[in-house]
């Protein structure tokens, strides 16, 4: 774990942000989790599934971390299927995957963050990234889609995460 004040400030508050998202969805009913901003857009529940699934995909599938504890959550982000997950399951998914990220951040050194990985897509295209980029991307992904969750909840008169 880094002792850089700026980085620890970001990590600590990222944790707080995703806890606010979890707190906002925790009381939602199955019906409220299906609410969307528009018919062609994702529901509140689907957005959170996407956030959880992306964390597993990047950390386990692309960085090769041990995924025993979260392997089943990878399928939460299937494009062809929306899982009927409850609010409690979504909150548990956020918590479990946050623990996965936090454990990795505690273990990785500054040198580890610069290690480059190559992922080959199904069409043969290769993508290169390092651990630092993956961490930034997951931070960005959480906050961007957290904003979408917030707006969708607000559009339907429900309490949204406060920043």
Q: Look up tokens 């509140």; give the residue.
A: 44
The helix (H) or strand (E) run that includes residue 120 is strand 116-120
N- to C-terminal Cα distance for the chain? 26
Q: Which stretch binds other proteins (CB under 8 A): 22-30, 74-82, 117-125, 144-152?
A: 144-152
Q: Look up tokens 């996965």; give the residue.
A: 100
> Per rule CB under 8 A, is residue 159 in the interface with other proteins?
no
> Per rule CB under 8 A, is residue 132 in the interface with other proteins?
yes
Cα separation of 62 and 107, whole Å?
17
Compute the least distance from the CB of residue 146 to other proteins, in Å: 6
Tell me the HSE value of 74 on the side-chain side, using a 13 A CA sphere: 14
Among 74, 83, 104, 147, binds other proteins (CB under 8 A): 147
Q: Which residues does residue 126 pair with via DSSP β-bridges, in sequence order?
A: 120
Compute the least distance from the CB of residue 19 to other proteins, in Å: 13
Binding residues for other proteins (CB under 8 A): 2, 4-7, 9-10, 13, 17, 37-38, 40-41, 110, 113-114, 130, 132-133, 135-137, 139-141, 143-148, 150-152, 154-156, 163
């Amino acid at each position: 774990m880094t002792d850089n004040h700026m980085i620890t400030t970001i990590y600590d508050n990222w944790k707080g942000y995703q806890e606010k998202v979890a707190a906002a969805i925790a009381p939602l009913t199955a019906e409220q989790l299906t609410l969307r901003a528009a018919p062609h857009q994702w529901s509140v529940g689907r957005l959170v599934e996407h956030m959880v699934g992306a964390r597993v995909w990047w950390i386990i599938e692309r960085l090769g971390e041990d995924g025993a504890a979260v392997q089943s959550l990878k399928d939460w982000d299937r494009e062809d299927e929306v899982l009927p997950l409850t609010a409690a399951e979504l909150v548990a998914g956020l918590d479990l995957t946050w623990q996965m990220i936090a454990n990795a951040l505690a273990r990785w050194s500054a040198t580890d963050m610069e290690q480059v990985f190559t992922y080959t897509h199904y069409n043969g295209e290769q993508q290169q990234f390092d651990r630092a980029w993956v961490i930034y991307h997951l931070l960005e992904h959480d906050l961007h889609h957290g904003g979408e969750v917030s707006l969708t909840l607000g559009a339907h008169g429900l309490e949204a995460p406060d920043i």
